[in-house]
Structure formats: C-alpha cells, structure tokens
Amino acid sequence: MSTSTPFTVGIVGARGHTGAELIKLIAAHPGLQLGFVSSRELAGQRVADHHADWHGDLQFENLDADAVAAKGMDAVILALPNGLSAPFVAALDAAGPGTVIVDLSADHRFDGSWYYGLPELTRGGYLGQKRISNPGCYATAMQLAISPLLTELAGPPQCFGVSGYSGAGTSPSDKNNPELLRDNLMPYALTNHMHEREVTAHLRVPVEFMPHVAPHFRGITMTVNLWLQQAVKREDVIGRYQAYYAGEPLIEVLDEAPWVSRIAGRHGVQIGGFDVAPGGKRLVVVATLDNLLKGAATQAMQNLNLALGLDELAAIPH
C-alpha cells in the first residue's frame, strides 16, 4: 500500500466514544490523513488535547452540512445520533458524489441503495458503492452468532444482549449513569428494538432480542438461543463455526463461553459456549465484542479500507 498520497478523511460527530476510537485508528493508519473533526461542543479546541494518540495542531470545528461538503474529503465518517445524517448526505451527494460516506447511525441500514457493511458476512456483495451503512453493535454480535446455522433454524433465535454503558452514548440518561447502574442490570426496549428489526431484515428471518445495560463501560455479551431443525452434536457445531469463519482474523471461535472482560479494548469477536440441550435440537451460543470497536469504529475502518481499495485490516490490530 502506497503512503505517498494518503486519502483524506473527515469525522462528523467526533466528541463521542466512537469518534475517539476513530481518531485513534486514523492516527495509526499509514494510508489515511485526518482532514477535519467536527464537534459543536469541542469547536476551537485542539484534538491533541483530548486524544493522546493524536499529534499536531488540528482543531475541532463546528461544521454544518455544506461546510463538510466543501472540505472535499475522499471520505467522510458520520458518527451522529440516529436521524441526523440526512443534510450531510444530501450536501455530499450534491458536491461530491464520489466521496465515500460511512454512516454509523441506523439511518440507512434499511436502504437497499446503501451497502450494509458487516464485512465477514457481506463483503462479497460490495460492488464499489460509495454509500456505506455501518451495522449496529448488538446487530453485529447477533448476526455473527446466528449466520453459520441460519439455514438450519427451526424458529426465531432468541437473543439476550448485555452492553456496557458506553453504548448509550455521552448524552446523560439513566442508561449511562454509573450511579443508577451500580449493582444493577437495566432492561430496556424489550420488543421491537432497532437492532431486532435490523437483524430480521438482513438475515431474512424473524429474530427476538432483549437488550440490557450493565455497570461495565464497554463490551457486549450476546447469548443466543437457537432451535434447530435437526439434532446436532457439539463437536460438529464447533467445526461448522470454525469452517464458516476460517480466514477471518477478527473472529475467534472458542470452546468455552467468552467473557466480556476479555474482549474489552480488542478489535475482534469471540464466539463460544456451544451448549447443546438434551435432544440435540436446541443450541446456545455466546458472542462477545467491544461495542465501540468491532461494534462501531473498527467495523467502520474495515468498510472504509474496503471502499478505498486498501488492506481491509490496515491500522486494525489483530
């Protein structure tokens, strides 16, 4: 990969936890140059004063959609809350239709004209699209846990998800209040969650999802109950998952159930457990990932690398 003419990248919504991880990844990337970081709250402050991995005098800016488009970046990452991407996409469509956009919100996950970028499952369908929708963090864990047995399902998978409170963002709420979460597990949106609809749409099977927030800061545990058409043996299931994800450096298939404490700060996914109930037709699988990394920033970097023709894992430790 040549580093003589790095691609320029801008981040919109850089104040949040995921924005911080993106800055760290771009700082380590030999083929990317961070052209701007937009944050209303931090405008005028030096990026280096907030991120130890960044060096230089680049400052946060408060940029509206037209100002972002006028920057002329090769790629723009939208790290905004749901519902806020439209003006930025419209401005970039008008000023730079060749600009790669990676949207981390849910705004385009149901839009067939956008590439849905969960690379381990969808890279075969990437045809050079410049508009890329990053999957949700819970949705990534669910799809990776279910996909190897998707054709064997006898009914809807039931998914019990637990996330660290960083998944609730930086705007104060009950779901990211350490005092309320201490010694607590907080259930919410127990039916019709956005990620339930997302996984149902992309796997094309109904999925049932029950999310919870826990007192830890980062990391997701996803316990998935699968009813199967035919009885299975545990060793055959493990072999099937190993074969399905062979050659995927960011996915590790374990014998035992993974622990969220062991995935925090890491860029991949661990899938394990594989407990088969008596009779062989019920299987429980556990997947863990860091919601800020493979659930957001790492996946965005995979998608960005793919769209720019770079090594998919460039700048991603694995």
Q: Which residues are designated catalytic?
A: 137
The token pair at 102 is: 């990676």
Full DSSP string of 151-212 = GGBSS--EEEEEE-GGGG-SS--GGG-HHHHTT--EE---SS-HHHHHHHHHHTS--EEEEE
Q: Kind and range of the H or E element at 146?
A: helix 137-146
Closest CA to 301 of 318, 282, 286: 318
Neighbours of 29 (CB within 10 A): 22
Spatial separation of the C-alpha atoms in residues 26 and 31, rounded to whole Å: 9
80 within 8 A of 54, measured Cβ to Cβ? no
Nearest to 80 by CA among 20, 175, 11, 8: 11
Alpha-carbon distance of 213 to 135, in angstroms, equals 19
DSSP for residue 92: H
Record the tokens describing residue 158, joined without a space. 């039931």
b/e 65-101 (16+ beta carbons within 10 angstroms → b): beebbebebbbbbbbbeeeebeebbebbeeebeebbb
CA–CA separation, 238 and 49 (whole Å): 46
Tokens of 228: 């199967």
